[in-house]
Amino acid sequence: MKRTLSTIVISLSLVCGSAATKSSDLPNKDIYYRTTSIDDYASTKCLLDIYTPESGKEFPTLIWFHGGGLSGGEKHIPERLKGNGFAIVAVGYRLSPQTLTPEIIDDAAAATAWVFDNIGKYGGDTTKIFMAGHSAGGYLTLMLGYDKSYLGNYNIDSDRLAALIPYSPQVITHFTNRKERGMGEYQPLIDKYAPLYHIRPDAPPTLLITGDREQELFGRYEENAYMWRMLNLIGHPDAKIMELDGFDHGDMTKPGDFLTIKYIKEKLR
């Protein structure tokens, strides 16, 4: 594992080295991404914001899903990711317990389909759409990238995604889904609501990023390490994992953003 597992410590000065440009900070905000109205709650949560680069056309796009355990959090555009030549689409979605996990994943799929169908109007290149998110957002990223049925419901092939960059994702069945079924948070489960259940060698390139294994949430590093190992065993050609020494579940987003910027630029070469 040492040959491909990178354990790194990154100075925050590196993370903050890429300053955000101003001009089109939030040119579009609170766009309803579903084609039909589902319920009043959806009208308040199924919204997205778009940040576009200072200039240029046919730019890449990063779809960003916020964290919060599928039961909290709000859409936001990470400041550290701005100013790097790619658009960022921040997605809001319905939350548990008002909405169950399958519908939450479907919200994420509907938003992703909206991006594929509409980002070209803003100057984006649909062959360069990346997906990322922290914690629950990382879980949604992997579910959409590995289980092709969700995007397939919107006539989008998940293999069109340029790469997946989940930050500290749950790769077994999400604890909120287990809670919805009356299970305890320490009782593991791998079923159709687990990204790990859907691993396949032809999935998009995947960079798994976690915090320090001794400071992470539950066994989050170990889950990701197992998924990385299994992807290697089944022959996925482009799966990597990085553990961030000294960073806990929340703080790992800081160096994680730096890694995301670097990874996207490498993929675009």
Q: pLDDT (tens digit, 9 = 90+) per residue, 137-174?
A: 999 999 999 999 999 999 999 999 999 999 999 999 99
The residue written with tokens 């960073």 in the block is 247
| Domain limits, the chain | 5-267
More confident: 232 or 14? 232
Q: Residue 25 has what pLDDT?
A: 44
Q: Bridge partners of 64?
A: 90, 132
**Quick one: average pLDDT of 60-83?**
98
**205 — phi, psi (to 5°)?**
-50, 140
Please give the class, per CATH, of domain 5-267: alpha beta
User: What confidence tier does 8 reach under pLDDT thresholds 50, 70, 90?
Assistant: very low
Q: Find the helix packing angle between 101-118 and 136-146, rounded to 10°.
A: 70
Angle, vertex CA 169, rays to CA 68 and CA 137, nearest 5: 45
Question: Would you say 134 and 253 are in contact if contact means Cβ atoms under 8 Å apart?
Answer: yes
| pLDDT one-digit tens code per residue, 215-268 | 999 999 999 999 999 999 999 999 999 999 999 999 999 999 999 999 999 999
Residue type, 97: P
Is residue 224 within 8 A of residue 46, CB to CB? The reply is no
- Tokens coding 141: 């990223």
Q: pTM of the predicted model, to two decimals?
A: 0.91
